[in-house]
Structure 1
Amino acid sequence: MVRHALIYFLRVPVLGNGKTRLRNFLTIEEIKLMSEYLVRKNFDTLSQSHADLFLYIPADNTIEALMDLLPVKEHQVFYQQESSLGDRMYQAIEEIHARGYEKIVLAGSDLYNLSDEIVEGLFEELDTQDVVITPSVDGGYGLIGMKKPLREAFSIANYSHENVTADTIQAIEAAGYSTSCIGEILDIDDREDIAKALSGDFSASFYNQGEYNANFIFDQGQKLLRVALGSQMHLDNQISYEYHALEALQPSSAVVEVYKLVEQTDLIGKGYLVEEFVQGRPLDYQLDMNIAADLLAKIHSVDPNRGSHLIEAERPFEVMFNEFMTMFQHYKDWPQRDEQVEKMISEMLENLKTYDMTAPIADPCIINTELNSGNFIINPQGRSCLIDWEKPLIGEKEQDLGHFLAPTTTLWKTDIILDFDDVFEFVSKYDRLAGGAVDKRKLIQYLQFTCLRGITWCAMAYVQNIESTKIQSDSQTFEVIQKFVSPSFLEMIQDYIDRGYNYLDK
């Protein structure tokens, strides 16, 4: 009877070691948990095989650490020799072959879709082939099987490129041996690999990533996979919150269609959304204000009861003011603060205290709260929509409109400032489409609060960038942050606020 053996190459996951290409996507704690999940998942699959299973760990691991992770016996465990990857694989196969095994399959540990069918298919194919390989999506391979150790199968110099499988096959066949491939495996090395695993589409590709989310395109560019990396609102289940907001707003036709919610995954712990991917460009304040008015009127007209799960901004000005003070405290406590800037911002914040901070919301509706130009997808000849529903609330339409029209918003990505003729022309268009009147004085108040939100956030972010207490902003963003905390900019904002009230009092 032919004896079959499986060799499982693995490393016991250690916090902060390995998977460096995932550190722009997951924390080191999340990477460790993901690696442990894959090690266990693949061990369970390999253990179901009829073949004898042997585990090879690197010299810096211990058998005790491995046995804490997996239910293995000490006699199953061997140490990899300290050499190149090709030499280590060859030496392991040579060692197991010397024990009398006539078909040997070696598998890695970072494989996502390993199955009994793949493993048994490799053993069966060895009836007619000298070497059998399961290629990985990235051009490497996840499993390799042979009937005896063949040095030629491990003769390539580098295992970190997209032609590993092709070069290995070429070397094997050049030496006169037969080879074939069985199946296709996904090896988890970077964030695109995770998107491929979650979507089930091995052609899924990275689209963009912010501080709190990452987005990937799949299904031939028709769908977007959205992973919540964190929560600005400090929610336990951010992705579910976003999903239900989009679901509530579906009747508006002003948001993307949402297809699927997965609240949590075994692979990374985090959940994800599957949404419609809409082609378009960011909003242009000079060309697209009619489209923006139409989209916002449709969104604000949705029955707020559909968003009953959303947080209600019961006292929005009080909440915003407390947020301003918390962010500004970072700057006030900074030894290198500019005293003139500190004084100017402090005076602007003091002026806000003239308002009734305890005023409740009136005429509630679902609001986005982050109406930057990049959150609009504009297609003048087709369908436009509003994306990125990270911080929706039940609030007042004037808060959304104030954020959309404020100079701290328009100047973030462009050089546009809307004068008050432009602001109230937009409000008139919005009123006609929404069938209701905007409270103009309240709008001016929200414009003032929005400006202070942008300024105090930039004051905090300026300190964090200088002191490197957070991931640093790119140079273009940092230039804007610096500008927003300059005396000349602060003077301009105060003048803008004064002109707003003067405009209403004409």
Structure 2
Amino acid sequence: MRHSRPALIVFCREPIAHQSKTRLIGAITPATAAALSDAFIRDALAKAVAVRTSRIVIAASAPDGAESSKYFRRLARQFDADLFDQGNGPLGRRMARALEPFSSDGALLIGTDTPSLPTALLDASLEALRRNRIVVAPSLDGGYYAIGVRGAMPPIFTSIRWGSRTVFASTIARLERDGLPYALGPAWYDVDRWPDVMLLAAHLRMLARARRRTGSSVCPATESVLMRLGLLHHAR
């Protein structure tokens, strides 16, 4: 049975120096780490627009609340997105809270740490959610970068060691233990640490060579920051 196009939720925190991408600080300055976080968010929202989902939602965390954040209000206007405050509590509770209002047609919640994710793969996860109650798209670090739910909320957001390399495996084990059918989205890599940034830069350099023919960029905001860091150069 096919359902209408699910909503797409971009789950993110306001980029603030010394608070954003802290595992990169040392290799780059706190201000540059925050700039990279901002670029990841913008590229994720641009992909959300490109896949033409039914609704774009920014599920945001900000010091004084999402609605009080000039940063998020500006992004919501720019990308024609609804703004939703994540609220307090553990990560799983905040993700479940963001997904719950969309139980009818479902929603796919994505993080922002996969800037090079091709739009076609994001679209594949959205399409999978039209046919399945639950979709999980794994990341190569042992977690997942996208989770989609349609219908009643499954018990997969509690008793998980968030941030560990067992998040994806634990989530799948919970689904299988409870007999809940699910589909897998395409796997991709996260960018959390400096070696991940170097991998990203190498990947983007390879894509830039191919782009001489296509003329498109998979993550232009991120590319701009990496160029300022000297990790990328304008294609000739």
**TM-score normalised by L of structure 1:** 0.38
Partners of 1:143 and 1:137 in 2: CA distance? 12
**What is the one-letter code of the residue matched to 2:14?**
V
Please state how far the C-alpha of 1:76 moved relative to its aligned partner: 0.6
Please state how far the C-alpha of 1:185 moved relative to its aligned partner: 2.2
- Go from structure 1 to structure 2 and tell me whether the alpha carbon gap of 1:153 and 1:265 turns closer, same or farther (over 3 Å shift): same
Give the structure, 1 or 2, with the largest relative contact order (CA under 8 Å, sep 6 or more): 2
Match in the other structure for 2:20: 18
Aligned length: 207
- Partner of 2:136, secondary structure, is strand
Q: 1:266 aligns with which of 220, 224, 227?
A: 224
Partners of 1:78 and 1:63 in 2: CA distance? 11
**CA contact 2:22–2:33 (8 Å) conserved in 1:** no
Q: 2:73 aligns with which of 67, 73, 94?
A: 67
**What is the one-letter code of the residue matched to 2:224?**
D
- Partner of 1:159, secondary structure, is coil
Q: 1:137 aligns with which of 115, 136, 140?
A: 140
**What is the one-letter code of the residue matched to 1:81?**
G
Please state how far the C-alpha of 1:13 moved relative to its aligned partner: 0.6
Match in the other structure for 1:119: 122
Larger Rg: 1
Please state how far the C-alpha of 1:151 moved relative to its aligned partner: 3.4
Match in the other structure for 1:82: 88
Partners of 2:198 and 2:73 in 1: CA distance? 31
Please state how far the C-alpha of 1:59 moved relative to its aligned partner: 4.9
Give the superposed CA RMSD.
2.3
**1:107-506 superposed matches below 5 A:** 107-200=110-203, 265-268=223-226, 269-272=228-231
**What is the one-letter code of the residue matched to 1:44?**
A
**CA contact 1:90–1:149 (8 Å) conserved in 2:** no
* Structure 2 stretches lacking a partner, 5+ long: 205-221
Q: 1:36 aligns with which of 32, 38, 46?
A: 38
Please state how far the C-alpha of 1:63 moved relative to its aligned partner: 3.8
Deviations 1:232-270 (A, max 9, x none): xxxxxxxxxxxxxxxxxxxxxxxxxxxxxxxx9424322
Partners of 2:171 and 2:70 in 1: CA distance? 35
Partners of 1:20 and 1:59 in 2: CA distance? 16
Please state how far the C-alpha of 1:14 moved relative to its aligned partner: 1.1
Match in the other structure for 1:456: none
- Go from structure 1 to structure 2 and tell me whether the alpha carbon gap of 1:153 and 1:267 turns closer, same or farther (over 3 Å shift): farther
**CA contact 2:4–2:130 (8 Å) conserved in 1:** no
Please state how far the C-alpha of 1:167 moved relative to its aligned partner: 0.8
**CA contact 1:86–1:154 (8 Å) conserved in 2:** yes
Partners of 2:58 and 2:223 in 1: CA distance? 27
**What is the one-letter code of the residue matched to 2:229?**
K
Partners of 2:5 and 2:36 in 1: CA distance? 33
**1:39-50 superposed matches below 5 A:** 39-50=41-52
Match in the other structure for 1:308: none
Please state how far the C-alpha of 1:124 moved relative to its aligned partner: 2.1
Partners of 2:147 and 2:137 in 1: CA distance? 6
Partners of 1:39 and 1:91 in 2: CA distance? 20
Please state how far the C-alpha of 1:119 moved relative to its aligned partner: 2.0
Partners of 1:113 and 1:48 in 2: CA distance? 14
**Matching of residue 57 in structure 1 with residue 57 in structure 2:** no
Match in the other structure for 2:99: 93
Please state how far the C-alpha of 1:155 moved relative to its aligned partner: 2.6
- Go from structure 1 to structure 2 and tell me whether the alpha carbon gap of 1:152 and 1:30 turns closer, same or farther (over 3 Å shift): same
Please state how far the C-alpha of 1:72 moved relative to its aligned partner: 4.3
Partners of 2:48 and 2:32 in 1: CA distance? 24
- Partner of 1:14, secondary structure, is coil
**CA contact 2:6–2:130 (8 Å) conserved in 1:** no
Deviations 1:363-420 (A, max 9, x none): xxxxxxxxxxxxxxxxxxxxxxxxxxxxxxxxxxxxxxxxxxxxxxxxxxxxxxxxxx
Deviations 1:10-29 (A, max 9, x none): 11211221222111211011
- Go from structure 1 to structure 2 and tell me whether the alpha carbon gap of 1:36 and 1:82 turns closer, same or farther (over 3 Å shift): same
- Partner of 1:151, secondary structure, is coil
**What is the one-letter code of the residue matched to 2:230?**
G
Deviations 1:447-480 (A, max 9, x none): xxxxxxxxxxxxxxxxxxxxxxxxxxxxxxxxxx
Percent identity reads: 25
Runs of 4+ in 1 over 3 A off after TM superposition: none
**CA contact 1:90–1:151 (8 Å) conserved in 2:** no
**What is the one-letter code of the residue matched to 1:29?**
A
**CA contact 1:137–1:184 (8 Å) conserved in 2:** yes
